[in-house]
Structures are given as structure tokens and as C-alpha cells.
Structure 1
Amino acid sequence: MTTERLRRLTPEDLDDAQRAVYDLIAGGDRAKGPQHFPLLAEDGSLNGPFGVMLHAPGIGAVLQDLGAAIRFRTDLTARIREIAILQVAQAMGSEFEWWAHERVGRAVGLTDDELLSLAVGGFHSDDPTENASAVFCANLLSSNVVTDSEFASAEEHLSAEQMINLTVLVGYYRTLAQLMQVFVIGVPGRNPADPADHHHAH
């Protein structure tokens, strides 16, 4: 049975550098407004990738800020952002990312049918910008290459800034998924070794 490989750090465990990262995550933009998934466990430790970041505060501080920029400081619509994150979660088989962002996705208007299509890797949108975004991200996730024709197709509906934002978003959430795979971080309250109860493909 595989369990989490890192000790969960509670507030009283933290040194000054770790505390600074903790405060950025627990007290920043993520903590404002509705909480679609819990950042904090009952003991005050951070859930998901955020708990991992505390163990390497030098990189954790920068990573969490990049995440906040992707979440709160781009020109992507909330739906496009969450569609892209769920595409990464599905492609990486990331249980935590899917669990967390399925909730955020519902809150920004994704329907059951849309979530199901994302879960099986076959999302399509009638909105041309959303669809171009999803195709662009699918290309990145399936081959790491965007061909000239794929780029030209994306360029019809997406600005250079949007393509940069999506490319960085995919890389960031891939990085978080990889961190959670390496350190066996699962959904809060569920043993990572238990069979998953979600329906997305790995």
C-alpha cells in the first residue's frame, strides 16, 4: 500500500521561509471568495500540491505565484481555464487535479455532459474560442508539438497572449501532477492506494 511520501507540515512545524509560502497560499487570492475545494486540512496542513511546495520553499514560493497568476491574472475566461486544467488532469491521470477542478469547473458553468466529455478526452465546444483553446491544449498534451497547420488554426481564434497563457498553464498543471505522482499525494481523506471512484481515463 502506497502512502504519502512526505510528512504533512502543520503551521507549528514551519520555519520562516516555509511560513512565508504557507501564508501566501493560505492567505492569498486562493483563500478569498468561495472555496470549491479545501486548501487546508483540519490540522492546518495544506492539501494537494501546496503541501509539497512547503518542503522546498525557494521554489514553492515562485510556483504558487505562477499558479496564482494563471488562476487570477490572465485574459483566459474562467471556463477556458478550467477546461484546460481538466484536460491536463485527464491526460496525466491526476486524481487530485481532477477532483479539485471538477468542482471549480462546475462553479464556472461546466455541465455534466461537458465534464464527461473532458473525462474521456473528447471535449468539443460550440464556442469557437473555447474549442480552439481545447484543441490547442489537446495538441500539447498528446504530442508536445504544435504543427504549422495547428498553429494557424489556433491563431484564427486565439491571441498570442492567450496561446502563451495556455502553454504555461499546461506546463504548470503538468508540473503539479508530476509532483503529486512522485510524492503520492491523493485526494484529501482518501487513501492514495484505494481504487479511485472517478470515471476519467488514465
Structure 2
Amino acid sequence: MLAHTGEVSVHWHAVVGALLTDPELDARLREIVILRVAYLTGSSYERLHHEEIAARAGVPADVIAELARAEPRPAAFNATQNAVLALVDALVRGHHADEGTFKAVHERVGTEVTAKLVLLIGVYVSTAVFLNAFEVDMDAGARLGVIAPT
């Protein structure tokens, strides 16, 4: 469906690609963020796609499964991951994070990575809304029944 947005899709892919390949973002942490967004937004496409990517990035299967819980158990994650997950949950559920949540992340990863994580969360929430709106599934069509360009 995104291909039907013309020039917008080119720029969207550039932003997503930059975040997915950014050397400052640890691949495991990036995938934990994306999967948590997928679970919280009910995006089956993102979830199925990124479970595989997360596994290849070295995220253990039990950690991937833990992300699907309403309240993941802190013991399954390290301190940085727990701080970042608190940020994801706050931003996705309430669209705002308090100072303590930001401080906990910032102290662990710094300003640049904190900003990139917030952008990553926002980009994947937007992606989930798009995918969910058109009921995009891993193996087939979309709500509008538009045939994908070849």
C-alpha cells in the first residue's frame, strides 16, 4: 500500500532505512523497541516481520515472547532495555513521557540515541497505524483491495 503514496514512500523508506542501519542504535535494542510498538499497536505485520529480524539480531526467543505481555517482567531485560521499554510504553500508550522516564533513558544512552529512539518509536507507531488501517497482512492484500504495483 505504501507504494501507492508516490514520492512520499521514497522519503518514508529513507527515514526508516536510516533508523534501521544507524550504527548508534544497538540492533537488539532497536528490535526490542520495534516489537514492543508492534505489540502495543496490534500490528501483526510489524510483529511477524520484526520477530524474525530480532532473532537474527540476537534477541533471544524468551525476550521476544516477553515483549508481548501487557506488562513485561523487568527481570527479562537489562537496565537500559527496561528504561527504554518504559519510554516506549509511555509514548505509545499516553503519547507523553514524564521527566523521570526520559532521564532514565538519557543517562544510559545519551542525547543522540535518546532522540533517535523517540523518532524510532514515532516512525513505527505511524507505520503500525498505516498497516492496521489498510489491514496489511504478511501474505496478502489490503482493505482497499488495490493490487500492489509490480
The residue type paired with residue 160 of structure 1 is T
Is contact 1:53-1:61 (8 Å) kept? no
Normalising to structure 1: TM-score of the pair?
0.64
1:101 and 2:43 equivalent? no
Paired position in structure 2 for 1:84: 33
Summarize the alignment of residues 132-143 of structure 1 with structure 2, pairs less than 5 Å apart.
132-143=83-94
Q: Mind listing any 5+ residue stretches in structure 1 that lack a counterpart?
A: 1-51, 193-202
Say if 1:189 and 1:59 are closer, same or farther in 2 by CA, change over 3 A. closer
Alignment RMSD, CA only?
2.0
Q: Distance in 1 between matches of 2:88 and 2:117?
A: 7
SS in 2 for 1:88: helix
The higher radius of gyration belongs to 1
1:75 to 24, 28, 32: 24
C-alpha contact 2:48 2:138 (8 A) present in aligned 1: yes
Amino acid at match of 1:68: G
SS at match of 1:185: coil
In the TM superposition, what is the alpha-carbon distance from 1:74 to its structure 2 partner?
4.6
Q: Which residue of 1 aligns with 2:147?
A: none
**Corresponding residue SS for 2:59:** coil
**Partner of 2:67: helix, strand, or coil?**
helix
Distance in 1, matches of 2:121 and 2:133, equals 18
Counterparts of residues 22-37 of structure 1 (less than 5 Å): none
Task: State the AA in 2 paired with 1:115.
Answer: I
* Cα offset, 1:173, TM superposition: 0.9
Q: Counterparts of 2:83 and 2:63 in 1: how far apart (Å)?
A: 15
1:2-43 CA-partner distances (Å, limit 9, x unpaired): xxxxxxxxxxxxxxxxxxxxxxxxxxxxxxxxxxxxxxxxxx
Deviation at 1:191, TM superposition (A): 9.4
Indicate the SS of the match to 1:158: helix
Q: Name the residue aligned to 1:182.
A: 133
1: CA distance between counterparts of 2:106 and 2:131?
A: 33
Deviation track 1:23-78 (CA, whole Å, cap 9, x = no partner) reads xxxxxxxxxxxxxxxxxxxxxxxxxxxxx221112211110000100100251100
Greater shift in the superposed pair: 108-117 or 64-73 = 108-117
Q: SS at 2:35's partner residue?
A: helix
Ranges in structure 2 where 5+ consecutive residues have no aligned partner: 144-150
Which of 95, 101, 119 aligns to 1:150? It is: 101
Give the CA deviation at 1:153: 2.1
Distance 1:66 1:152 in 2: 26
The superposition leaves residues 72-110 of structure 1 with CA deviations (integer Å, 9 ceiling, x where unpaired) of 025110000000000110011001000000001111111
Q: TM-score, normalised by structure 2?
A: 0.85
Question: What is the alpha-carbon distance in structure 2 between the residues aligned to residue 159 and residue 178 of structure 1?
Answer: 29
